[in-house]
Amino acid sequence: MSEQDIRQERLKKLEMLKAAGMEGYPADSHRDTRNADVVTGFDELEKNGRKVHIGGRVMSLRGQGGIIFADLYDGTGRIQIVLQQEEVEEKLFGLFANTVDIGDFVEASGTMFKTKRGERSLKVQKWRMLAKSLLPIPTEHFGLKDEELVLRQRYLNILLNPDVRAMFERRARFWQAARSFYLARGFLEVETPVLETTPGGADARPFKTHHNALDIDIYLRIALELWHKRLLVAGFPKVFEIGRVFRNEGQSREHLQDFTFLESYEAYSDLEKGSEFLKELYRHIVKEVYGKYTFDINGHTVDFAEEWPTIDFSTVIKKEFGIDPISCPEKEAIKAAKDAGVTFGDSPNKARAVDHLWKQVRKSIAGPAFLVGVPAYLEPLAKRSIENPDIVERLQVILAGSEMGKGFSELNDPQDQRARFEEQQKLRDAGDDEAQRLDEDYIRAMEYGMPPAFGFGVSERLFAFLENKPAHEAQLFPLLRPKQ
């Protein structure tokens, strides 16, 4: 029977319900007990004979003459209900037999008992429909096999696959663990604008749209950074935010166009203090969510409990490619990158060449480790090192061959900031549409005085890595091209 034929049959059953005086989609429910509580409290409920009202989706349905068995799932647990013809009003028994399908939401009232086979069950006295399903859900045994359908009809994938459901419960705990870590340390949780007139805080291409009421072009934010630093200017010493950011870039196993991001800023802190803070944060998250420190990710074994080594950027680039990323001319950097197989766009430059060389090196690093010594031209928002002004006080968490969080001593010199923004603008003018923009309002805020601070950001990619899943599979509803 085709899906359309099934739908027509269920529409007829819906009309049958209405003709019998039962609503197909009532606004209320009499459910007073979760299925999970019925399961854990079964012995007491059976002993005292208390009547309970439960509800849930019919996940299995079978009948034997004057008796019908069904399993109800309400999101907390699963319980069998039993309708016996001699125990239920004849009209209600017949209506259940003739109108209820797998996938329907029903409500059942009765007392707990054990079947002859010892199955803990609810003996139904009354029932009613809560929501009649018109389309059939796949059988639990076969589920969804088509990879695209798994993502496009994620609701069914979650319903039928306990492992997928458990992953998204862990995702919720992942962000809860991060939030509790920051709140316990006196950070203020904030919310900053998603719509911006000047996107900044990262090297990324933004999404652009038009604001009709103000009649101006605006952008979806690519980072939270510049707003948070304004809050440091405003006098808040510790702030953090967990929010959505948007980058109009390519899609891969590790990259998505819209994703959840965590950023935090702590005044009067620095790179050294920040590195210890981050080790505590990551260890807290993995222990709270997974109860362990060791993971197998992308062919790497990662142990968060071990000491995190420090890797110097220039040292590894010199060793692997024979160039000094700080002092080498642009032509030499571009040649090294091309010799290494890097594919450029129409406007190659030294910064992009060196960045791609590093991305090749990092693939072999299991981590967790900290990358330091990054050239200043690669990071326009970090403070220069006092010992060597050609590099910045930035660290990146390296995990399973990828970058998994970035922090730095924040640049708070407005004149240096302007000069670096202007260099970025030159790159934009030369065709690099991921280079950062000159943000006059942000520089003005900085000129009022911004305290020294340590800033940090990490995306939901960390969760995907801990799950050892592609980024889109670790999202509830990843963006897909509309079905033709």
Residue ranges making up the domain that contains 84? 3-137
- Whether residue 131 is found in the same domain as residue 280: no
Mapping DSSP onto H, E and C, the string for the chain reads CCHHHHHHHHHHHHHHHHHCCCCCCCCCCCCCCCHHHHHHCHHHHHHHCCCEEEEEEEEEEEEECCEEEEEEECCCCEEEEEEECCCCCHHHHHHHHHHCCCCCEEEEEEEEEECCCCCEEEEEEEEEEEECCCCCCCCCCCCCCCHHHHHHCHHHHHHHCHHHHHHHHHHHHHHHHHHHHHHHCCCEECCCCCEECCCCCCCCCCCEEEECCCCEEEEECCCCHHHHHHHHHCCCCEEEEEEEEECCCCCCCCCCCEEEEEEEEEECCCHHHHHHHHHHHHHHHHHHHHCCCEEEECCEEEECCCCCCEEEHHHHHHHHHCCCCCCCCHHHHHHHHHHCCCCCCCCCCHHHHHHHHHHHHHCCCCCCEEEECCEHHHCCCECECCCCCCEECEEEEEECCEEEEEEEEECCCHHHHHHHHHHHHHHHHCCCCCCCCCCHHHHHHHHCCCCCEEEEEEECHHHHHHHCCCHHHHCCCCCCCCCC
Is residue 326 assigned to a domain? no
Is residue 305 assigned to a domain? yes
Residue 131 token pair:
């929501």
- Whether residue 9 is found in the same domain as residue 75: yes
What are 360-384's pLDDT values in tens digits?
A: 888 989 989 999 999 988 887 788 8
- Whether residue 100 is found in the same domain as residue 230: no
- Whether residue 280 is found in the same domain as residue 421: yes
The CATH number of the domain holding residue 18 is 2.40.50.140
What are 85-143's pLDDT values in tens digits?
A: 999 999 999 999 999 999 999 999 999 999 999 999 999 999 999 999 999 998 765 55
Under 8 Å between Cβ of 62 and 68: yes
At a CB cut-off of 8 Å and minimum separation 6, what does 142 contact?
Answer: none
Is residue 42 assigned to a domain? yes
d(CA 201, CA 378): 13
Instruction: Report the side by side order of strands in the sheet with 216-220.
Output: 195-196, 216-220, 208-211
- Whether residue 187 is found in the same domain as residue 294: yes
Is residue 146 assigned to a domain? no
Under 8 Å between Cβ of 95 and 17: yes
Is residue 152 assigned to a domain? no
- Name the pTM for this structure: 0.88
Q: Is the pLDDT of residue 18 over 80?
A: yes
pLDDT value for 349: 86
What are 154-189's pLDDT values in tens digits?
A: 999 999 999 999 999 999 999 999 999 999 999 999
More confident residue, 201 or 223: 223
The CATH number of the domain holding residue 247 is 3.30.930.10
What are 24-77's pLDDT values in tens digits?
A: 999 999 999 999 999 999 999 999 999 999 999 999 999 888 999 999 999 999
Residue 260 token pair:
């959840």
Query: For the chain, how many structural domains are there in total?
Result: 2
- Whether residue 91 is found in the same domain as residue 49: yes
- Whether residue 421 is found in the same domain as residue 297: yes
Is residue 243 assigned to a domain? yes
- Whether residue 175 is found in the same domain as residue 282: yes
Half-sphere exposure (Cβ direction) of 25: Cα atoms closer than 13 Å: 6
Is residue 315 assigned to a domain? no
Confidence class of residue 205 from pLDDT cuts 50, 70 and 90?
confident
- Whether residue 162 is found in the same domain as residue 108: no
More confident residue, 417 or 17: 17
Q: Give Cα 439 to chain centroid, integer Å.
A: 29
pLDDT value for 463: 97
- Whether residue 174 is found in the same domain as residue 122: no
- Whether residue 253 is found in the same domain as residue 286: yes
Helix axes of 90-99 and 3-19: crossing angle, nearest 10 degrees: 160
- For residue 26, whether the previous peptide bond is cis, meaning omega lies within 30 degrees of 0, is no
- Whether residue 132 is found in the same domain as residue 191: no
Share of the chain above pLDDT 70, in %: 97
Query: What's the whole-number average pLDDT of the chain?
Result: 91
